[in-house]
Amino acid sequence: MKERIEIISGDITQSDADAIVNAANCSLLGGGGVDGAIHMAAGPELLAECRTLDGCRTGEAKITGGYRLKAKHVIHTPGPRWRDGTHGEPELLASCYRSCLRLAAENGCATVDFPSISTGVYHFPLDRAAEIAVRTIAETLEQYPSITRVRMVCFDSRTQRAYADALAAL
């Protein structure tokens, strides 16, 4: 299902996909990085809805409206914080991508844009994260024919290169 995956550079807050994914934390109450940027662009109504959700476990996901974003929905997923790789980090990261795509399909989203989950403040090694992300997305898309396009929206060239290399190696 590699054909439905694209790697692009850009700012995910400008995305016009049906759903964008937020690399959140377990509180779902905002933070820095892409989480802060998404809340800033979506407006205070997003935080108000997030307050009703009672947080989210690492590797799981919850969906909200997109409010002032072009995207109709935001899917919030707390990625794993990297410790040493022996605390389930790879499995939890794969679970983030699976959980988000399941929610997208259940909510009628045909196009989904992801940021590079866990590779910022959470320090997941970039090359491993990229390999897990593209492999998990490709495998999961087999189950969801209604999702026609998934993009990895990379904020910097190093990240874009890592995901492009991982996709090419699939």
For residues 144 and 103, give the distance between their C-alpha atoms in angstroms, rounded to a whole number. Answer: 11
Residue 53 to residue 33: CA distance in whole angstroms:
21
φ/ψ of 63, rounded to 5, equals -115, 145
Q: Smallest distance, Å, CB 135 to ligand AR6?
A: 18
Q: What are phi and psi of 82, to 5 degrees?
A: -70, 130
* Closer residue to ligand AR6, CB minimum distance, 37 or 47: 37
- In angstroms, give the least distance from the CB of 158 to ligand AR6: 9
CA distance 102 to 73: 14
Q: Rule CB under 6 A: say whether 11 interacts with ligand AR6.
A: yes
Burial 59-74 (b: 16+ CB within 10 A, else e): bbbbbbebbebebbbb
Region 42-71 residues binding ligand AR6, contact defined as CB under 6 A: none
For the CB of residue 143, give the shortest distance to ligand AR6 in the complex, in Å.
Answer: 24
Identity of the residue, 53 or 121, whose beta carbon is nearer to ligand AR6 in the bound complex: 121
31 lines the binding site for ligand AR6 (CB under 6 A): yes
Distance CA 76, CA 53 (A): 11
| Structural Rg of the chain based on CA atoms | 14
- Among 23, 74, 104, 147, the residue binding ligand AR6 under the rule CB under 6 A is 23
Selected catalytic residue, list 16, 35, 84, 156: 35
12 belongs to the binding site for ligand AR6 (CB under 6 A): yes
Cα 141 to Cα 15, 51, 97, 147, distances in angstroms:
20, 30, 10, 7
Site string for ligand AR6, 109-128 (x = CB under 6 A): ------xxxxxxxx------
Query: Is 165 an annotated catalytic residue?
Result: no
Catalytic residue numbers, as ranges? 35
Q: Which residues form the interface with ligand AR6 (CB under 6 A)?
A: 11-13, 23-25, 31-35, 37, 79, 115-122, 153, 155-156, 159
